[in-house]
Amino acid sequence: MKILVTGGAGFIGSAVVRHIIGHTQDSVVNLDKLTYAGNLESLLSVADDARYAFEQVDICDRAALDRVFAEHQPDAVMHLAAESHVDRSIDGPAAFIETNIVGTYTLLEATRQYWSQLDDVRKAAFRFHHISTDEVYGDLEGTDDLFTETTSYSPSSPYSASKASSDHLVRAWQRTYGLPTLVTNCSNNYGPYHFPEKLIPLMILNALDGKALPVYGNGMQIRDWLYVEDHARALYKVVTEGEVGETYNIGGHNEKANIEVVQTICALLEELVPTKPEGVAHYQDLITYVTDRPGHDVRYAIDASKIAAELGWKPEETFESGIRKTVEWYLNNEAWWSRVLDGSYSGERLGQA
């Protein structure tokens, strides 16, 4: 099978590409615009594989999409290309509307035209898998409630509203045009190659540098944490075994308050890097509480029983094992993250090289 992965140079997308090349016989076409979050250095381990190809393309560019479909003739699309940082969506929502809504629409139309011209066998086997987020559901009120595949949408930020819109578009293209789509909604991912603006890598790298560890509000916002490589396995399960028209929630079964996550990182660094930056007695002393984010959701938690029962997937990593692997990865891969921090990784330059 040949799979077109949009956003394949991003955090989750690159994990999906590495999983497919490393653990299956399938081929991958990585389609990525290479914005600030796209980093081809996350794919160096597969870049020379004969089953891997890269196309620097914006999903809003219909002509370029048509060319890619015509040249590569994929058997499935895994759509991960998206603007995904909530804070950035609050400061500048326009890019989120353009990429997440207009881009998804453009990709759906290019896919529909390509799919409609396939022979009956390839047409029946084709899949369009849209990867989304649990943030479309809003937040949970009760301490025991969980998001299920039938939870009503109630997005709180420009980011989650744009993702909710893209989810609706995908389902509408399946209902109206018969395009064979699947949707997954995942909880918070973490792990290797995570862009340093996100909570976990930001805390690791700030602590190593002796900088403040900013925690929103009282730090009691709860998230369900999913190790990115577990997520990549789940996504491949869905695109290859999932039922058309279905939605699958993917979670890590690891609910943690943000402050608990930060404290865990500090404790691991005390163990793994006992020699601290000058003036720092304990990493935990760097924790600083800052003004909460506007519209900040309080609690997310996924009920992932459907994908477990129907597709046999469950996470392999606990939060404790996954966060240790993540901290150790950042300690061992300074060359990767230092180039991200200083901007020298520049995905656009890499794409032209």
Average pLDDT over the chain reads: 93
Query: HSE-up of 191 (CA within 13 Å, CB side)?
Result: 24
Element (H, E) at 56: strand 52-56
- Which of these is catalytic: 52, 137, 159, 300? 159
Beta pairing partners, 226: 189
Q: Is the dihedral of CA 48, 53, 59, 62 positive or negative?
A: positive
pLDDT reported for residue 347 = 52
- Which of these is catalytic: 58, 135, 167, 255? 135
pLDDT reported for residue 342 = 87
Catalytic residue check, 135: yes
Catalytic residue check, 134: yes
Catalytic residue check, 159: yes
Q: pTM for this structure?
A: 0.93
- Which of these is catalytic: 134, 167, 230, 317? 134
Q: What is the DSSP string of 90-156?
A: HH-THHHIIIIIIIHHHHHHHHHHHHHTS-HHHHHH-EEEEEEEGGGG---SSSS--B-TTPPP---
Domains within the chain, CATH numbers bracketed: 2-194+225-253+298-318 (3.40.50.720)
Residue 202 and residue 234: Cα distance in Å, rounded? 26
pLDDT reported for residue 198 = 86
Instruction: Say if CB 50 and CB 2 are below 8 A apart.
Output: no
Beta pairing partners, 30: 5, 54
pLDDT in tens, 287-344: 999 988 787 778 888 999 999 999 999 999 999 999 999 999 999 999 999 999 888 7
pLDDT reported for residue 36 = 84
pLDDT reported for residue 100 = 96
pLDDT in tens, 141-161: 766 789 999 999 999 999 999
pLDDT reported for residue 346 = 55
Ranges of the chain whose pLDDT falls below 50: 348-353
